[in-house]
Structure 1
Amino acid sequence: RKVVELVLEHPQKFPRQSLGVIAMGIRHAQRVQRALDEALETRPDLDAFFDPGKEEHVFVKNLERVQGDERDAIILTIGYGKDRGGNLPFRFGPLLPAGGRRRLNVAVTRARYRMTLVSSFGHADMDLSKVKPGTGVELLRHYLQYAATNGKLLADVQTTGLPLNEFEAQVFDALQSNGIPLIPQMGASRFRIDLVAQHPRQPGRFVLAIECDGATYHSSPTARDRDRLRQQQLENLGWRFHRIWSTDWFMRKDEEVQRAVAAYQAAVGYADKSGGSPHGSNAMPAHDTGPVGSNRFAADGERGARPSI
């Protein structure tokens, strides 16, 4: 019911944004589709927006069928809930087996600008002792917590503590020695950035994200798709990006250092001119509390807007 309500509101609030709905399971997706079809029978005024012949038509799909799909806005509906006794059965379908974490990661990166999460329970209702570490269920709990904590789960994690690989360490040392103040491995989850360059006169003001891309890793279409969407989302929040490929680095290191220094200087100039830059908790998406009964990730509908719930 809530999902259909949000879908029907969308063309009125965001008529220029394409829309997709992702459900956890096939049956839930079918129920949502039936309910939406019934609701649209009495809304001929929305026929144009829901025209299936449009290039980016509205879709309702289950978690396992959204690879490669992308829309301006996505509604992710969990579909699971508590039983009559108030307990949450740990029957999370496609999130439980191997690959469940990857499936959820794919789903939450399908939105270009706005992600709305609809759930009848919160992260505190999920007891992770009942599932194996590293599953999609564990990631779902973190995602729910991300919404419930107003984005602090991400904003408070400035550095991941993960070690740099040999390539990243070489880049870090070379750029630091060229006067670029860097923070390694900043952020969390899909918003982790390899190296973040700070403003030279304003420590803590982030002006440039530097990604160190290994050729083997980025030969994967899934990885390229995920990173492209992640970069697009962060650029919409004001980030500037610079990429260094391992093959280029090892063949012509000096040229790559000069390119990075030039990108950094341009980013500093842009930050000084614009008077604004990602900083502190604003560096990553942050969220406000949504209505009871749902956690809603959303932006205000304009390109470059900062997400809120």
Structure 2
Amino acid sequence: MVEYIVFFGLVISGFVFLGLDIRRIKGIQVQQNIPPYFEELNKCESPIEKRVLKALWMRDHKATAQYPMSPYRLDLALPDYRIAIECDGKTYHSSPKQKAHDRKRDKYLRSKGWITLRFSGKDINGNMSKVINRIESEIQKKHFIT
């Protein structure tokens, strides 16, 4: 008797999971109320972006991940202060072509009134307090300007 209960329980749970998977494949979204922090955390593209985002939110700075700034997209942004935070991986941002692209992007952002703060993965992983202090010093400068 117990074997039948276990068997039919497994069959029913298999159909439930099959139905959920079919909904996922078809793109049917189940409405979820995800807190803003987790929404931003899910948008981060690298572990170093997540570390900076977590540290900023812990200090009550509501940073936005993957902020659109046409024609670019910022790793992290503090839109109220017009601060762009770029978390540069070791290999990707070290090529001459990428450095030229970064300079062009920074110039564009400056023309829109933004400041760009760039931090390497080494800085983020090795000295987060220094990274946060640098960001907060820019926030303080922006407070005095406005």
TM-score if structure 1 supplies the norm length? 0.32
Query: Which residue does the alignment assign to 1:225?
Result: 100
SS of 1:244 mapped into structure 2: strand
Q: Give the letter for the 1:176 counterpart.
A: W
Residues in 1 aligned to 2:117 and 2:64: alpha-carbon distance in whole angstroms: 15
Give 1:233 shift: 1.3
Give 1:269 shift: 2.6
Single out whichever of 169-178 and 244-253 deviates more from structure 2. Answer: 244-253
Runs of 4+ in 1 over 6 A off after TM superposition: none
SS of 2:66 mapped into structure 1: strand
Comparing both structures, which one devotes a greater share of its residues to helix?
A: 2
How many residues in Structure 1 have an aligned counterpart in Structure 2? 106
SS of 2:86 mapped into structure 1: strand
Residues in 2 aligned to 1:183 and 1:222: alpha-carbon distance in whole angstroms: 27
Query: Which residue does the alignment assign to 2:45?
Result: 164
Matched, 1:211 2:86: yes
| Residues 201-247 of structure 1: CA deviation (Å, up to 9, x unaligned) | xxxxx521111111211111111101110110120121122122111
Percent identity reads 29
Residues in 1 aligned to 2:71 and 2:140: alpha-carbon distance in whole angstroms: 27
Runs of at least 5 residues in structure 1 that lack an aligned partner in the other structure: 1-158, 200-205, 273-309
Give 1:190 shift: 4.5
Contact kept in structure 1, 2:90 and 2:120, CA below 8 Å = yes
Query: Which residue does the alignment assign to 1:173?
Result: 54
TM-score if structure 2 supplies the norm length? 0.64
Contact kept in structure 2, 1:185 and 1:193, CA below 8 Å = yes
Distance 1:224 1:190, change over 3 A: farther
Q: Give the letter for the 1:168 counterpart.
A: E
Give 1:167 shift: 0.6
Matched, 1:182 2:63: yes
Query: Which residue does the alignment assign to 2:15?
Result: none
